[in-house]
C-alpha cells in the first residue's frame, strides 16, 4: 500500500463521522485533489501528502489545478493534509503554500510556513472542521 493510501486509511474515519468523503483516484484529470469531502453543505478539496523531513513534492498538474480552483472555491475549502515523520497530520490551506518558492522539481520546504492545525486524532479533526465550517458561514 502506498504511503498516501495508508494515510487515507488512517484518517478516513475522522471524515465519515461528519459527512461524505471520497478518495479520488483520477487518471483522466491530472492534478485533481485526492479527497472530496462534503459536510454541512460545504465542500472541501484535500490533497494528501507525506513529508520527507519538512519537504513535500508538488506535481506541476497539482499546482496548476489548485491555482485554477482557488478563485472559485470558498477560501477555506482547499487544503493540504501533510503527514509528518511523527505521524501527526498538519493542515495547510492552499493559499499558505502557493506563494512559497519551489525548486525545479516542485519540492516545497514546509519550514517557516505556518500551518493551521495539527491533528493526531478525531478530536483534532473535529476542531479543524468546526473552525472551517464557522469561517464559511461568516
Whether the pLDDT of residue 138 is over 60: the answer is no
* pTM of the predicted model as reported, rounded to 2 decimal places: 0.86
> How many domains are contained in the chain?
1
**What φ, ψ does residue 47 adopt, rounded to 5°?**
-100, 130
pLDDT at residue 119 in the model: 80
CATH number at residue 66: 3.40.1350.10
Domain that holds residue 81: 3-132
Average pLDDT over residues 45-57: 92
Question: Which H or E run includes 106?
Answer: none
For residues 7 and 80, what is the distance between their CA atoms, to the nearest angstrom? 13
Amino acid at each position: 500500500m502506498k504511503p498516501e493510501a495508508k494515510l487515507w486509511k488512517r484518517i478516513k474515519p475522522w471524515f465519515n463521522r461528519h459527512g461524505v468523503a471520497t478518495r479520488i483516484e483520477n487518471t483522466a484529470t491530472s492534478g485533481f485533489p485526492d479527497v472530496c469531502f462534503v459536510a454541512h453543505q460545504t465542500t472541501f478539496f484535500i490533497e494528501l501528502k507525506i513529508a520527507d523531513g519538512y519537504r513535500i513534492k508538488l506535481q506541476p498538474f497539482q499546482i496548476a489545478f489548485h491555482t485554477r480552483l482557488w478563485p472559485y472555491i470558498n477560501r477555506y475549502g482547499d487544503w493540504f493534509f501533510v503527514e509528518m515523520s511523527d505521524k501527526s497530520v498538519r493542515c495547510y490551506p492552499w493559499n499558505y503554500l502557493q506563494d512559497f518558492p519551489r525548486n525545479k522539481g516542485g519540492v516545497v520546504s514546509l519550514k517557516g510556513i505556518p500551518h493551521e492545525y495539527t491533528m493526531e486524532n478525531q478530536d483534532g479533526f473535529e476542531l479543524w472542521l468546526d473552525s472551517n465550517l464557522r469561517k464559511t458561514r461568516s
